Structure 1
Amino acid sequence: MSFLDEIDDEVREAGLDRAIALGSTPPIFDWLLTTFSLQGVSDKVARNYVAKHGAACWADIEAAIRDAPSCPKLRSYWHFEGCRYDKTSFTCSEPDHIDACPLPRPRLRNGRLNSLAWAFGLFVRDIMGGDLVGWIDHQLESAQGASRPELEAARQEALIGPLRNIYGISDKILTMTLSTLLIGARNIRPVWFETGKAMIAVDTLVHNWLVRTGIVQECGVPHAFGAACYGRGGCAEIIRTVADRIDASSFNRAFPPWFPRFVQNSIWRLCSADFLNLCNGNRIDDRRACEIGYCHLYQRCSRIPLRLPKNTNKSII
C-alpha cells in the first residue's frame, strides 16, 4: 500500500521531479543508467558495487564525446554497433584504439554495462537530441489508439520500441524503470502517469508464481519465461485482465482504481527475498509441490512443481 510513496521517495532523492519540470537530462540519464545496471545480480549487490566503485554518468560521457574519441565506433549511435568490448580480456572490435578509449574507464561491474552506458549516451545525443524529457513527451503524444487498451499499448511501444534496440537493455528492465519514472511524474505529467501505471514488468519471480499457482495453465497459454510472457495469453495479459477486476483505490485512496503495475508489483513482493520472501526457489523445491502450509493461498493454489522429475530432463518454466 506504500507503493506510490516509495516511488515518490526515490524520485525526490534522485531529483527527478525537478529535472522533469525543468527538462534537465543529466539527472534523469544518471538515474536511468544506474537502474539499468540492476540486472544479473540482486539490487543490493549492484547498489553496493556502485557505492564502492562509482557509476557512469552523463557528464563524463558527454565530455568524452566532445573530445572526439579516435575510435570510429564512438562517432554516433549508429556507428556503435559491433563494439564488442570485453572487460576481462580488455579487447574490442577496434583494438588499435582501445588504450585511448573512454568507454572502459568507469569501473563498472562488467564490460556489458560499460557498453550499455555508451550506447544509451549516444542514443540520447543522436536520437533524443539531448532532450530526454522532450523525447518522452513527443513519443507519448504521437501514439494513437481507438480504445484505452490500444492507446496504452501504443504509448508503451512508442517508448520501449526504440529503446529496446540499445545494447544491453531488456524489455523487462525498460518496463520496470520507465514505469517508476512515469508514475513519479504524475503531478506534472498526467499522461506519463497514465502510461506508467499500465506498464507490467514480468520477471522470473512473477512468471514462476503464475505457473506454480496454476493461473497460467487455467487462464492463459502455458509458456516458458521470456518474450511469450508479453504475448497473447501470457503473464502480462493475465495480470492486466486481473487488474480490471481489482479496485486498487480500495487499498490506498491515492491509487487509481485501475492499476496493473500495482497488481504486478504485489505479486513480485510476495515472492521477492527482499520483501515477503514466500514463493520463490529459496523456499520451494522446484521439483516438488509447495509445502508452505501457512501461506494464505495454500488451499486455493495448484502448487504445481516448476520442474518435471529428473529422468524427463524437462522443465515447464
Structure 2
Amino acid sequence: MSVAAKAFDPLGRAESLIRTVCAVAGSMSFLEEIDDEARHAGLVRAVALADTPPIFDWLVTTFSFQGISDRVARGYIHKHGTASWSAIGASENNAPSCPKLRSYWHFEGCRYDKTSFTCAEPDHIDACALPRPHLRNGRLNQTAYSLYLFVRDLANDDLVGWIDSQLDGAKGTTRVELEAARQEALIGPLRNVYGVSDKILMMTLSTLLIGAREQRPTWLETGTAMIAVDTLVHNFLHRTGILQDCGSSHAYGAACYGPGGCAEIIRTVAGRIDTRTLNPAFPQRFARFVQNAIWRLCSLDGLNLCNGNRIDDRRACQIGYCHLHQRCGRIPLKLTKIDVKTIT
C-alpha cells in the first residue's frame, strides 16, 4: 500500500465540500429562527412550567407537514384545524368503547382510513372520536391518538419530565457516544408512535430542545446534535461522491441513520467545523445547522441547486457556477444501462 493510500482521509473532501456549503447556503439566523418558532408556539413557557398540552399540540401540528408541501399543509390546517390534547383528552374521559383506545399498547393495528371510513374495529367506528379531528388523512388521526396515548401511558402526562428522565439516564464514554445515547433515549421509544419517522422526530425534537434550552444545557447539546436526513440531503451526499469516498453507498431509507450512514457522516464532519466562525452566537458543534445548510443548498426554498429539478439524475451535474463544481464527484443518481455495463 502506498504512503498516499495510507494517508487517505475519506472525510477530508467531505469536510472541504460541507464547509463551503455552510458558508454559502447556511442560514446565519438559524438559531434565531428556531427561537422564534419556539416562542411563537409557546414552547419556552410550556417547558418552564412542565405544561404538556401546548407541546403536544405543536408536535401534532408539526407532524402534519409530512409528505406534502408546507404551503398545502398550512392551508389545510388553517381551514380545518388540527388535533389537540384537550379534545382527545375529553374523548378519552368518556370511556370509548373501542378496545384499541384502552391504552397505548392496545392501539396497535387501528388501521383507520378516512376515505373509506373503515378501521380494524368497524363495530365501534360510528361512536369513535378518533375520526373527528378533520385532518388531511387517516394516518394523521392515528398519529395524534398514538402520541396522546404514549404521553398518557408512558410519560404520565409529563413530556418535559419524561425528556429530562430519558436524557439523564443516557450513558456514553465519549461525547459522540453520549450524544448518540441521548438521541436514542428519545427517538427510540417515540419511533413506535404510529406514523412518525426518524426524520420528522429529529426535526421536531431538535427544535423543541434547542428552542426551550433555557436552564437545560443537556437539551441544547442533544438538540444541536440531531440530524434530519431527507432525500435532498442523502442525494447530495451521493452526487458529491461523499458516500462513495466513505464506502457507504446505500439507498435512501433506514440505512441513512445506520452505522456509517448519512447522519453519522454529517455528524462526524460537523465535529470538525467550529460554527462560531460563521456566527459567534452558534455553539461550537452544531450538526443540525450543518445538515440544514446542505438541505438549503438543495431545496427549492433555499439555493435550489443540487436537486432533481436542476440536474438530470442519469447524468453528471452540469451546473458550472455551483461553488462545489470543481471539487464535486458529480456522480449520477441513477445509473443507465451503459453505466452498469461499464462498472461490471
User: Where does 1:40-59 land on structure 2 (aligned, <5 Å)?
Assistant: 40-59=67-86
After TM superposition, give the deviation of residue 309 of structure 1 in Å: 1.4
| Structure-2 residue corresponding to 1:96 | 123
| Structure-2 residue corresponding to 1:258 | 285
1:143 aligned to 2:143? no
TM-score (normalizing by structure 2) = 0.89
After TM superposition, give the deviation of residue 107 of structure 1 in Å: 1.0
> Which residue of 288, 294, 304 corresponds with 2:315?
288
After TM superposition, give the deviation of residue 220 of structure 1 in Å: 3.9
| Structure-2 residue corresponding to 1:164 | 191
| Structure-2 residue corresponding to 1:239 | 266
User: Where does 1:178-197 land on structure 2 (aligned, <5 Å)?
Assistant: 178-197=205-224
Give me the whole-angstrom Cα distance separating, in 2, the residues matched to 1:298 and 1:226: 27
Give me the whole-angstrom Cα distance separating, in 2, the residues matched to 1:83 and 1:313: 44
> Which residue of 78, 85, 96 corresponds with 1:69?
96
String of CA shifts for 1:84-111, please: whole Å, max 9, x gaps: 1111110011111101110011111110
| Contact 1:220–1:238, Cα closer than 8 Å, also in 2 | no
Code of the aligned partner of 1:218: D
Code of the aligned partner of 2:223: G
| Structure-1 residue corresponding to 2:233 | 206
> Which residue of 150, 157, 174 corresponds with 1:123?
150
String of CA shifts for 1:3-48, please: whole Å, max 9, x gaps: 0000001001001000000000011001111111211112222122
| RMSD, matched Cα | 1.4
Relative contact order, higher structure (CA 8 A, sep 6+): 2
User: Where does 1:75-86 land on structure 2 (aligned, <5 Å)?
Assistant: 75-86=102-113
Give me the whole-angstrom Cα distance separating, in 2, the residues matched to 1:80 and 1:313: 46
Percent of pairs with identical residues: 75
**2:222 match: secondary structure:** helix
String of CA shifts for 1:232-281, please: whole Å, max 9, x gaps: 22111111121122110011111111111111110011111111111111
After TM superposition, give the deviation of residue 312 of structure 1 in Å: 8.1
TM-score (normalizing by structure 1) = 0.96
| Structure-1 residue corresponding to 2:3 | none
Code of the aligned partner of 2:127: A
Give me the whole-angstrom Cα distance separating, in 2, the residues matched to 1:293 and 1:93: 55
Give me the whole-angstrom Cα distance separating, in 2, the residues matched to 1:258 and 1:81: 39
The change in CA–CA distance for 1:37 and 1:74 in structure 2 (over 3 A counts) is same
After TM superposition, give the deviation of residue 188 of structure 1 in Å: 2.7
Give me the whole-angstrom Cα distance separating, in 2, the residues matched to 1:222 and 1:153: 22
Question: Which sections of structure 2, spanning at least 5 residues, go unmatched?
Answer: 1-27
> Which residue of 159, 170, 179 corresponds with 1:132?
159
User: Which entry has the higher C-alpha Rg, 1 or 2?
Assistant: 2
| Structure-2 residue corresponding to 1:225 | 252
Give me the whole-angstrom Cα distance separating, in 2, the residues matched to 1:27 and 1:70: 27
Number of equivalences: 314
After TM superposition, give the deviation of residue 144 of structure 1 in Å: 0.9
1:109 aligned to 2:161? no
Give me the whole-angstrom Cα distance separating, in 2, the residues matched to 1:291 and 1:49: 38
Give me the whole-angstrom Cα distance separating, in 2, the residues matched to 1:120 and 1:191: 24
